[in-house]
Every structure is written in structure tokens, then in C-alpha cells.
Chain A
Amino acid sequence: MLGDLVITALYTAFFQNLVLSFAFGASEAVRVSLKPRSLMIFAAMISGFSVVTSAVCYPLERFTPVGSFPDSLRVPVYAAVLAVTYFAAAFIFKKVLRASSQIMTNLGIAAVNTLVLAVPFVNRRAAYSFAACIGSGIGAGAAFVLAAVLISKGVGKLSQNEDIPRVFKGTPALFLYVSLISLAFACFAGNTVFA
């Protein structure tokens, strides 16, 4: 069981990085990488939401009629699970931890994004076991950290490079840099890039 969890987490983070190979949560990864101070807390929140959503959706799929629903009905169920998880987390952060308004804003972005909502779909398609679903949630957070750290380091170097032509500075250079990291992950996964 633990083996399933670890292998799936590693697979999701490194081999098929959900952010760089599938672009799930790519906007958030790019935007967070521009603010390195909030990167780790944001990634922790994403991991938390992915794990809880995966852990709740698995038994729902397995032991309730949700498992036989068509996608059009399954999506609102996943969204409802995400909403309840988010409200519970928001309550804890606000009332118990007395979090600042900035952390509450980050919490909203960390909960409602394509990476977190995609994880239950990925789990279902891959027919993961419960342990693998948890591993997938943890791996999603790790994939996010890896992507955001790589982008953040690159952006730091790019912003100091005076040789970049004016119109390439900023988002163009950022996109081209992200494409190179994404290409690296595509090759890790053994994809044929140029047939």
C-alpha cells in the first residue's frame, strides 16, 4: 500500500509531471513562481486540497452510485467535494489560525484551480487504488513545487539578462523558458517529439 502511494507520487511529480506535461495548474505555477515567498505555502495548500479531494472522491466513486454517473453528473460531485473541502479549510485558517487576508486569497486560488480539480479525473482514468489516489494528490503538490521552483529560478536569471531583446523580455522569454522545461519532461516520459 505504501509502495503504491510512493510510486504514484513519484510518477505524478517526476515522470508525468502534471503541470509541465499536461499543463494542469500551469497559470498558477507561472504566477506563483513570480512571487517565490508564497511558493511553499501555496504548494502545501495545493497538496492538501489534492489529497483530501482524492481521498473523498475515491470512496464516493467506489461505494456510491457516483461511480456509474456520466461525466456531466460526476463533475458537479467533484466540484461539491472541492467546495466543501475549501470551506472547511477556509474556516480553519480564518477562525483557528487567524490567517491574513493574503493567505486567505492564496487559499482560494490553491483550492479552485485546474490542477486540483483534474486530480480526481486522472485518478479515475488511471483506475488508481486508494493509496495510489493519495499518492497522486501528494504528487500533484510535488509536481507543482518542482514546476514553480524551476520556473522561478529561470525567471530570476532571465530578469537579470540584459542581452535579451526588449520585445522578448517578460512573458515571451518566460513562455520560451517554460517550453524548454516542458520539453525536458516530455522526453523523460519517452514521448516522440520529432518523428
Chain B
Amino acid sequence: MENKKPSFGEYLMKGAVVRNPVLIQLAGICTVAAVSSSLYSGLFFSAVFTAVTLLNCLFASLFLKKVQRPVRVIFYLFVSLAVICPLMYLFEVKGTGLGETVRLYLPLLAVNSVTAVHCEQFAVKHPPLDSVKDAISVSIGYSAVMIALSLVREVLGRGELAGRKLPGNFALPGLLMPFGSFVILGFFAVGLKWYISRYQPEMYEETAVNIKTARLNFREKEESGEAPETEASPEEQAAFLFGNEAEDELFTEFWVENPLNSENIVENIAALTQKNEQFGNEAQERMNELLGRLDRNLDFDKKDDK
């Protein structure tokens, strides 16, 4: 089958909408919740975020593929600071007053989780052009949330729009606190999920990400007496077999590529054992423990010998 590359529209739909970094992936909440109190600061942070993410993803895709993960994390920090510090310096030299909140939170963009997540999950595994497309789509998703949130908070929290007082004397200052951001983000997330369920129903399941829930689902199936080769998703299987370890790239990739079923269970776990002995053995033990309760046993060694 021909392996067709996704178009930019598909990147955009996935990165900005279905897997929106803030509303669905729960990343970058700190800056979004704290600085989105005026439209100008929202626009400013969106622009800086876009520059930081683009540069980091490009850098990661070009130079960091062979660098170890613990070291890459620090690269992201300093690449981001290469954008942020000159900008801060420029403001300091020009004497343009950055608000107290912006001065505190701007450097924190250097450690925002959206950039790190996308560099790690995508950029270091894909060519530069694809990484740039992903970075643009993610930045659009982040910026859309940031700008919309800033607009709503400024209007409802201050009774202003872009610094101009609106008619009437309406203001709820509580909405300018982080709790106000969380409330509004909650309703934005509702709107997004409604949109996806209505117009992209085939992607709706992708909006629900919860390893703990996945593990519980599988346990419930186990406790209800269903065989382990249920129709649990590969992520559920990985979560069940490895608990928190399932978040490791190796497991996720492995189990998504090799979903568990009654025919291939032994082969899959044996293949995983070859790939990574420690985790492969854990998987064997876990699966046998589960099957033991169902009065069955799998002989992994026997299968290996074949």
C-alpha cells in the first residue's frame, strides 16, 4: 500500500483542532492561564510562542535526532532563550514597559511543555519540512486559544477591548485570575469537543486521552471475566501491561504497531523481549499473571525455541 504523506490541511486539523495542545493535550496551560488577561499580551505571547516552537522543532529535526533525550531537553531550553532573551533585552533598552506579569511569564515560555512535547513526539522523528508543518499547526492551535481567551477575559474581566473601555460598567475581576482562565478554557474545550463530534466524528475518540482510564477499562474487563484478548486498544493493552511505563515511546510504538490478539500474543511479547529484555520479561510476567487467573498459561520460552 502506498504510504501517502499527510497534507498541510491534515496537519492543521490534527495539530490545531483534534489534538489541540491546550484544550486536548493539556500542555502550555501555565502561560495561557496567566497572561491572557489582555488582547495585546495574548497576541504578543502567541507571536513569541510561534517563533520559539518553529525554531525548536526545526532545530530538533535537523540536529537533535542522534542526541540523547535527557540532553535534548536542555537544548530546547536554550534554543527558546535565544529568541526570548534578545526580545527582553530589546524591551529593556527601548524602555518600553513590559507589564509585571509579562516580565515574569515571558522567560517561562522557554520551558513550555507544548514545544517540548512536539519536539520529542514529532520533530526528532520526522524530516524538517514535516516538523515545520507540525510546528505551524500547533502554534495556530495554541495561538487561537490564547487570543480567544485573552479577548473574552479582557471584555468580561475588565470591561475593555484592546485597552478601550466598553460602554456600560461591566467587569468581573475574578476572571482575570487563573481560575477565570480555567473556567473559560473548560467551555472552550466543550465547544471544541462538540465541533469535533459533529463535524469530525471519526476523530472524536482522539480527544479522549487518559492512561489511567485506559488501565481501568482493561482491569474492568479482566474483572468481569472477559478474556485478555478483548478488543482493547493497543494503548489500553500497553497501559495494562506496563502501567505508567506505557508512556514510554518504545511501548506505545510497539503496541500500536503490534496490537495484541489471541493469535499473536506470544510472538509479540517474545519480539518485545528481544527488543528490550527487561520490559519484555515484565510483559511476560504480567500476562501470565493475568492468564493464571483465567486458568491458562502461555509458554513464552517454548514459543521462543520454535
User: Which A positions have Cβ atoms within 8 angstroms of B?
Assistant: 20-28, 30-31, 34-38, 70-73, 75-76, 78-79, 82-83, 86-87, 90, 94, 100-102, 104-105, 107-109, 111-118, 121, 125, 155, 159, 166-176, 178-180, 182-183, 186, 191-195
Contact = CB atoms under 8 A, between A and B. Distances in A.
B247 A35 contact: yes
Given A31-B27, A170-B208, A176-B186, 6 more contacts: A25-B30, A27-B26, A27-B27, A37-B244, A87-B70, A112-B73
B77 A107 contact: no
A108 B181 contact: no
B292 interface: no
A71 B183 contact: no
Contacts of A35: 211-212, 244, 247
A105 B74 contact: no
B271 interface: no
A192 B171 CA distance: 12
A191 B180 CA distance: 13
A36 B108 contact: no
Nearest to A116: B111
A119 to B, nearest CB: 11
Interface of B: 23-24, 26-31, 33-34, 69-70, 73-74, 76-78, 81, 84-86, 88-89, 92, 103-104, 107-108, 110-113, 116, 171-174, 177-183, 185-187, 189-190, 193-194, 197, 207-213, 216, 243-245, 247-248, 250, 278
Given A27-B29, A172-B193, A193 B88 contact: no
A72 B190 contact: no
12 contacts: A23-B178, A31-B26, A34-B210, A75-B81, A82-B77, A86-B73, A100-B278, A108-B69, A112-B74, A159-B216, A186-B177, A186-B179
Nearest to B190: A172
A171 B189 contact: yes
Given A35-B247, A76-B81, A83 B211 contact: no
Contacts of A75: 81, 84-85, 88, 107, 110
A15 to B, nearest CB: 15
A183 B110 contact: no
A150 B209 CA distance: 19
* Chain B interface SS verdict (over half): helix
A38 B247 CA distance: 11
A172 B186 contact: yes
A73 B86 CA distance: 9
A26 B181 CA distance: 12
Given A83-B77, A102-B247, A179 B186 contact: yes
A70 B173 contact: no
Closest 4 CB pairs of A and B: A179-B182, A175-B186, A193-B174, A182-B179
Contact of A101 (B34, B189, B194, B248): B248
B163 to A, nearest CB: 20
Contacts of A28: 113
Contact of B190 (A25, A30, A168, A195): A168
Given A76-B85, A83-B74, A183-B179, A192 B30 contact: no
